[in-house]
Structures are given as C-alpha cells and as structure tokens.
Amino acid sequence: MQPVVKLVILGRDGILNDFRDDHVKAPEEWSPIAGALEAVSRLNHAGWHVVVATNQSGIGRGMIDMASVNAVHAHLLKQLQLAGGRLDAVFFCPHTPEEGCDCRKPQPGLMREIGKRYGIDLKQVPMVGDTLRDLQAAQASGCEPHLVCSGRAAGLDVAQIQALVDQVPGTQVHADLAAFAEDLLARSASLPSH
C-alpha cells in the first residue's frame, strides 16, 4: 500500500507574512508573521509537506512582474530555510478577479492542481487561510478548512469570525499559523500509525 503523503496547503499573505493592500512587490516588502516560519519548520520536522496556494492578482493587474514574484518567493524560501523549514512548492494564480479563471480562490483550481501533483485525496489535507475566500476554496476542493486570525482576519471580532465559520461549516479557527501547527501536530500524534 502506498504511504499517504502528509500535506498542508497554506495561503501566503496574512498566513506566512504580513498582508499588504498594495501587494508584496519586492523582497524588502515581505515580512514574516511572528512564529509562522518556525511553525512550517515544526510541520516539516514532523513529516509534513507544506505547499503555498496564493492569489497574486498584482501580476494580472500589471503591478508586479514574474521576476519580482520569483524574487519574493526566493526571499521567503531563504528565510524559511534559516528557520529550519521548507516549502515543497508555491502554486499561484496570476489572474484578476474579472478574468473568471478556475485557479483564483475561492475557485478550487489551485488545490486540485496540488492534489494531482501529489496524487492525494484532498479530503485529508488541511488548508489554512485568513479570508472567507480561502475557506470557500478549501470547501470547494474538499480540503479541511482552517482560519487563522492573523492577516486579514486579525481585525475581526468574535461575531465576525463566527459569521465566516457559519458560511463554511467545519472550519477550525486558530490564533495564527503557530497555533494551527500545534493543534495539527497534537492531533496527528494521537492517530494510530499505519
């Protein structure tokens, strides 16, 4: 029997790094959320593969080019490496909302592509985001939805968070990526090994 790949899908902005309304356009504009890189490292060391699925409409809007996106991701990977972690891959949608593609969250295209790449049933895959759009993408692709209250969700009160959860039943809420990692590792430690 083929071993099951332990895979986590993360959004980027607001989960790994600070969200910016004007997009992260250069490595020096990228700043990690406290504890996020260490959380990825902890997941990696426990055998989890971590990939990013991110909307990058700044490309489609002409605000950022591919060289800049690649430079930001190279910087992210280097910072993650310094924290002892790694990403397996970064999947991104370059389109604007107006283009109506299947890969822009809340559509499930990016997650389905990840599922195909790993040959994995997405039902077993936690997906972490900080917006309703992320949760809807998780739901549409069959992933387990997780909301972190960092990034865009940081300013929401209890009622607003509950309203998001009500729209995507089964959503689990965490303070940030570090809290999510702690919860996932505790959960997976209690599962019987194959």
- The reported pLDDT for the residue numbered 1 is 41
Decide: helix, strand or coil at residue 128. Answer: strand
Q: Would the pLDDT of 191 be above 80?
A: no
147: nearest Cα among 162, 164, 163, 128: 128
User: pLDDT: is 133 or 2 the higher one?
Assistant: 133
In a domain, 140, yes or no: yes
96's enclosing H/E stretch is: none
In a domain, 24, yes or no: yes
User: pLDDT: is 108 or 188 the higher one?
Assistant: 108
27 falls in which pLDDT band (50, 70, 90)?
A: very high
In a domain, 173, yes or no: yes
User: Which whole number is the average pLDDT over 117-139?
Assistant: 96
In a domain, 63, yes or no: yes
- The reported pLDDT for the residue numbered 190 is 77
Candidate from 70-79, 150-159, 184-193 with smallest mean pLDDT: 184-193
In a domain, 127, yes or no: yes
User: How many independent structural domains does the chain possess?
Assistant: 1
What is the domain range of residue 142?
Answer: 7-189
Q: Would the pLDDT of 43 be above 50?
A: yes
User: Which whole number is the average pLDDT over 17-25?
Assistant: 93
Which residues neighbour 180 within 8 Å (Cβ) at sequence distance 6 or greater? 39, 126, 128, 146, 148, 174
In a domain, 194, yes or no: no
In a domain, 123, yes or no: yes
Query: How far apart are the C-alpha atoms of 145 and 168, rounded to whole Å?
Result: 8
CATH of the domain at 153: 3.40.50.1000
Strand stretches in 94-171, DSSP E: 126-129, 144-148
Query: How far apart are the C-alpha atoms of 118 and 124, rounded to whole Å?
Result: 12
User: Which whole number is the average pLDDT over 168-172?
Assistant: 96
User: Which whole number is the average pLDDT over 106-128?
Assistant: 95
User: Which whole number is the average pLDDT over 154-176?
Assistant: 96
In a domain, 81, yes or no: yes
Which residues neighbour 109 within 8 Å (Cβ) at sequence distance 6 or greater? 93, 101, 102, 103
Could you tell me the pTM of the whole model? Answer: 0.94
